[in-house]
Structure 1
């Protein structure tokens, strides 16, 4: 039996296949994948923020913008990730605000010991005039500032004994970050501050290169510093914030609608992560205690504050008192 229309199938199929392939290619070309890098393990609240951000961006852009997360310093240490974001090798970075101290030295006012009286005080400053001004300043360095998630209050861990008074810190070889104020603080207390990348800290504690460190409790927990430290003292000597920033050229290449999604979701993810930090603090401390850490809260914070008050004077001498005045006014 003959089928007279059969010969037409092949000629008709070719344009149809080509059209399908062209449509698929257009969808592929339209999709944008963003690389989101941070230094924390994938068990940390920073990863929870990144996952929330990625899910919401993909959902609200109908898959036109997707986010691939690189935790635990997979794309380099903090300074390398920030440099990569400025150059466009990395699209989005989340890091401690202290890591842009060299670019924007005015942020040092936010890192001064005991300058924030509470989390709520910090949130008010970071979400208000001071924080918005700093987010705008990121553009001078090729980045779009997106928000200030929480790292939390910094506390001291060590292998020598509980920290209750300033004198208890004397002689400790303590790992610090690159904050000028915190390094000055520990020098004033008679410790030996040693700035080290967080990626090197566990080994440094394990081998005795340093015998103490100071981080917010989620970092102590997620990096398993309890395995190489015996004591956690709730000094709460400095509130530590993170920042999220995106490569500015990559941000500007998005459509206005996509840009708004990025901005909105970053703010929502920041609020989400801050609340998680508050909600999980008690359970994290309980888990650290169960793992074997001795935790003490009987810290004479007034004595510590008096002992390190000159760090504020050092900042004022370099940068004036405008930042400090604004922070204190927000109480």
Structure 2
């Protein structure tokens, strides 16, 4: 990974951080929390940040302020997470997959076809399995606040509809840093290539990659429909987000302020999850209206059968304790 990921040079990122810190230090009468996230302002992740800001500032009577930095202004996901660990950034929001290098067991949540629907994912994330992940974060300098929703991942490409595993064969597929998803696409015959999301539009436009997978909200907010012809509703993996805060910064707040921050994170997450669910069909219609060809006739059973070795690889590397924990509290059926 280079320091120019997400189209940001190191100098630009540091300049933004200096500005953020100077703004924060200038507010003598209030504590300012710097909240960075990777998506554009039309994305639901930004709506979550705005809701969090509104509630924190209102409930603290202005003693706490929240300054939002959207669209990767303070760096790529890895840089923002590092910034939150070091305290340069106070709060960040990123895909759970971006934490699996530090908490490998969390990769179980992104195993293909782990969850039948969002409700099953919420049961696991808001229950004991999710808490197991949260409990590992303080040792990394982080306080876990909530698991907002990125959503079920769908596949877009420029070759044709994806209906069965063979349809992926030979596709140059952009993937994130999730080991399980990389393994899945490689297993299905695609050619996975890791790219940061900020570089993906150009990569699709220029033909560096043919295809990608993301939840619908990301497809819409990053305008991938402009450079992709086909959308297949595969629901092949559920992607959670993780909202974290610098642990020392959290500990420096009063107990009352800590409760305000935690409640605001929970309320903003509930709102964002609800909005995402309500807007799913509308997003599909928008993409269709703008010219994408959408298919839902996906042979899910064939995909589930084909990815069995991906589950085995995860278990060989990490054990099956987290999988069993997830299955014990959700409606998930075992696939391993």
Q: Same fold (TM over 0.5)?
A: yes
Q: What is the aligned length?
A: 305
Q: Deviations over 1:75-104 (max 9, x none)?
A: 000000000100111110000000011111
5 Å matches for 1:36-75?
Answer: 36-75=35-74
1:133 Cα shift?
1.9
Distance in 2 between the 1:217 and 1:253 partners?
Answer: 38
Counterparts of 2:315 and 2:90, CA distance in 1: 35
Name the SS for the 2:62 alignment partner.
coil
Shift of 1:132: 1.4
Match of 1:247 in 2: 246
- In structure 2, the residue matched to 1:289 is 288
Gaps of 5+ in 2: 1-25, 332-336
Q: Write out per-residue CA displacement over residues 44-98 of structure 1, whole angstroms, 9 at most, x where no aligned residue.
A: 0000000000000000000000111111100000000000100111110000000
CA distance in 1, matches of 2:136, 2:272: 23
Deviation at 1:163, TM superposition (A): 0.4
Larger radius of gyration: 1
Cross-structure match for 1:184:
183
CA–CA separation in structure 2 for the residues paired with 1:309 and 1:271: 33
Three-state SS of the structure 1 residue aligned to 2:150 is strand
CA distance in 2, matches of 1:30, 1:208: 52
1:134 Cα deviation after fit: 1.1
Unpaired segments of 5 or more residues in structure 1?
A: 1-26
Q: Partners of 1:256 and 1:146 in 2: how far apart?
A: 15
Residue aligned with 1:237, SS = coil
User: What is aligned with 1:266?
Assistant: 265
CA shift for structure 1 position 140:
1.0
1:142 aligns with 2:152: no
Does 1:205 pair with 2:204?
Answer: yes
**SS of structure 1 residue aligned to 2:314:** helix
Q: What SS does the aligned partner of 2:213 have?
A: strand
What are the superposed Cα offsets for residues 113-146 of structure 1, whole Å, 9 maximum, x if unpaired? 0011111110000000111121121111101000
Tell me the SS of whatever aligns to 1:235: coil
Distance 2:309 2:278 in 1: 34
Deviations 1:211-255 (CA, angstroms, capped at 9, x unpaired): 100000010000000000000000110000001000111111111
Pair 1:79 & 2:98 matched? no
* 1:17 counterpart residue number: none
Instruction: Classify the secondary structure of the residue corresponding to 1:74.
Output: coil
Structure 1 runs (4+) deviating above 6 angstroms are none
Deviation at 1:28, TM superposition (A): 4.8
SS at 1:175 equivalent: strand
CA deviation map 1:6-52 (0-9, x unaligned): xxxxxxxxxxxxxxxxxxxxx95340111111111100000000000
Distance in 1 (alpha carbons) for counterparts of 2:128 and 2:32: 32
* 1:111 and 2:110 matched: yes
Distance 2:284 2:85 in 1: 36
Identify the residue that residue 307 of structure 2 maps to in structure 1: 308
RMSD across aligned C-alpha pairs, in angstroms?
A: 1.0
CA shift for structure 1 position 319? 1.2
Match of 2:5 in 1: none
CA distance in 2, matches of 1:312, 1:28: 50
